[in-house]
Amino acid sequence: MSVNGQVAILGAGVMGETLLSGLLRAGRRPGELLITERRQERADELRERYGVDVVTNVEAAAKADTLVLVVKPQDMPDLLAEIAPVVRPEQTVVSLAAGITTGFIESRLPDGVAVVRVMPNTPALVDEGMAAISRGAHCDESHLELAEGLLSATGKVVRVPEKQQDAVTAISGSGPAYIFFVVESMIEAGVHMGLPRGTATELVVQTVVGSAKLLRETGEHPTVLRERVTSPGGTTAAAVRELEDHKVRAAFLSAIEAARNRSRDLAAE
């Protein structure tokens, strides 16, 4: 199956626009893309910014070869009801919605439509995204390759069994927010100790980028890298002891389990 057919992005909010901009950066022509949006103001903004056609959901679903669904999980039943009459089995549906299973989508579309479930993340905006993809009941290798072709425009792509998608959502889908939370906390600590906010921000952002690069480029276990920073009887040991005393590790486990559970619940709303 070709990855060069027309691609429609239905719902161009934060994640839809991230994918759209990534596909354009990767060399797709605006004419190969269609988007839909329900607010006129937003539609005008995207048309102006990217030069793509903004059409109705029904027009997009009737015309495009690949339909990428990027509305909130709660909006998915209405969107599927709207497009179902025009969707055909030769099209591929790619869903980026948290918690929505391929079975949920398949049961609301004509029989035989291939559905790929994807969990992307926002670093895709700078081509450092992490996306996990899973096959639905009617997918073959070509449908997975098509989804990989779309998502690899903005970062890494891995294949996972669909039963792992709620955990993936909790780790890499929501993950950037946890990192930003840590970054905010470190900047506030710097400001609390008297550093100018700009200096604290520069120190923290570069420390996070450098640490991420060290993890990726050395392939070392994070514990080993942390031990290298932790001089005996030094500053890091004093800080890590406080993190352990405040049960930060346990808090991360609970937080990530809460995200996984929320993902499981979303399809039922």
Ligand X SMILES: O=C(O)[C@@H]1CCC=N1
Kindly list the residues in this chain that would bind ligand NDP in the complex (CB under 6 A). Answer: 10-11, 13-16, 36-39, 42, 57, 70-73, 75, 78-79, 96-98, 119-122, 173
Q: Which runs of consecutive H residues, i.e. helices, occur in the chain?
A: 14-25, 40-50, 57-63, 76-83, 102-106, 141-151, 165-168, 175-192, 197-218, 222-229, 235-245, 248-266
CA angle, 6 then 8 then 13, to 5°: 150
Residue 34 near residue 9, CB atoms below 8 Å: yes
Looking at 11, 151, 174, 200, which residue binds ligand X (CB under 6 A)? 174
User: Is residue 85 helix, strand or coil?
Assistant: helix
CB of 169 to ligand X, least distance (A): 5
CB of 117 to ligand X, least distance (A): 12
Residue 173 interacting with ligand X (CB under 6 A): yes
Binding mask 49-88 for ligand X (x = CB under 6 A): ----------------------------------------
Residue 101 near residue 119, CB atoms below 8 Å: no
Tokens of 194: 């008297």
Q: If contact means CB under 5 to 8 A according to the sort of partner, which of ligand NDP, ligand X, none does residue 3 touch?
A: none
CB of 174 to ligand X, least distance (A): 5
Looking at 132, 169, 190, 267, which residue binds ligand X (CB under 6 A)? 169
Of the two residues 14 and 193, which places its CB atom closer to ligand X in the complex? Answer: 14
Enter the DSSP assignment of 84.
Answer: G
Window of 49-57, 109-117, 139-147, 167-175 that interacts with ligand X by CB under 6 A: 167-175
CB of 269 to ligand NDP, least distance (A): 12
Of the two residues 173 and 190, which places its CB atom closer to ligand X in the complex? Answer: 173
Nearest CA to 8 out of 84, 51, 65 is that of 65
Q: Where is 53: in which H helix or E strand? A: strand 53-54
Tokens of 213: 């690069």
Q: Which residues contact 13 (CB under 8 A, 6 or more apart)?
A: 70, 71, 72
Residue 95 interacting with ligand X (CB under 6 A): no
CB of 101 to ligand NDP, least distance (A): 13
CB of 98 to ligand X, least distance (A): 4
Interface residue list for ligand X (CB under 6 A): 98, 169, 173-174
